[in-house]
Amino acid sequence: MDGAAPAAAQHPHPYVPRDLNLPGYVPVLLSQSTIVGVYLGSSLLVASLIWLLSGGSPRRSTVDRLLMCWWAFTGLTHMILEGYFAFSPEFYKNPSGFYLAEVWKEYSKGDSRYAARDSAVVSVEGLTAVFEGPACILAVYAIATNKSYSYLLQFAISLGQLYGTAVYFVTAVLEGDNFATSQLHYYAYYVLANSFWVLIPTIISVRCWKKICAAVKFQAQNQKKAKSR
């Protein structure tokens, strides 16, 4: 099973379309529950840590503390998971059981364009990892220290996440939407997992939009008052 199989040979991988050629593919070694469990577990750990650490200031609202948890979680996901994918074109050949390679071998069952190195997927993941990941961590800091750019930064990252997800889904449809190993993988990985990055950025964008518009209105009204005095 080692590499360089001719194009017409069988393809010893679980992905769809079946004629996808992945010479040197090494099957996923960890179980699905281990892969998903480690991700959810470490995410919960990060969120709990941020929740506890952010509880020090009595002036900080529950919403702000939840947002800090979200930004830490999504920022680390962008930088570590998506960053690894963007810069590891041969992850599917990894024989060591390395967790990050296993994640993408498993996720490719929901969307084989990851293993196939689809250029739209790689560019969206690359931009997300390089620009949005660090920006998310900056957002945690901005909320913690009450920066004047806090809402605007959260708005900008959320829009970026929405744009990236839109390109991700639209290109899938344009390319035939036939990249999932099974219905279960399609709905669990491709639809459900990504839906959080549609839903939550939408809510945050709307909230930031309102907060910022209120501030601009406040400034306009009070500067008018000051002038008319």
State the residues that interact with a copy of itself by CB under 8 A.
119-120, 122-124, 126-127, 146, 148-152, 155-156, 159-160, 163-164, 166-167, 170-171, 174-175, 209, 212-220, 222
Least distance CB 148 / a copy of itself (angstroms): 4
Least distance CB 170 / a copy of itself (angstroms): 4
Nearer to a copy of itself, 52 or 220 (CB): 220
Written as one letter, the residue type at 114 is Y
Written as one letter, the residue type at 16 is V
Which tokens belong to 55?
A: 């509880």
Nearer to a copy of itself, 18 or 224 (CB): 224
Least distance CB 74 / a copy of itself (angstroms): 17
Nearer to a copy of itself, 46 or 117 (CB): 117
Q: Is the peptide bond before 14 cis (omega within 30 degrees of 0)?
A: no
Neighbours of 218 (CB within 10 A): 10
Nearer to a copy of itself, 18 or 217 (CB): 217
Question: Do residues 28 and 121 make contact, with C-beta atoms less than 8 angstroms apart?
Answer: no
Least distance CB 159 / a copy of itself (angstroms): 6
Least distance CB 19 / a copy of itself (angstroms): 17
Least distance CB 1 / a copy of itself (angstroms): 28
Nearer to a copy of itself, 63 or 215 (CB): 215
User: What interhelical angle do 32-53 and 99-107 show, nearest 10?
Assistant: 110
Nearer to a copy of itself, 44 or 166 (CB): 166
Q: Is the alpha carbon torsion for 149, 155, 160, 161 positive or negative?
A: positive
Question: Do residues 198 and 165 make contact, with C-beta atoms less than 8 angstroms apart?
Answer: yes
Q: Which among 179, 225, 135, 211 has a CA at the least distance from the CA of 15?
A: 179
Q: Which among 121, 40, 110 has a CA at the least distance from the CA of 73?
A: 40
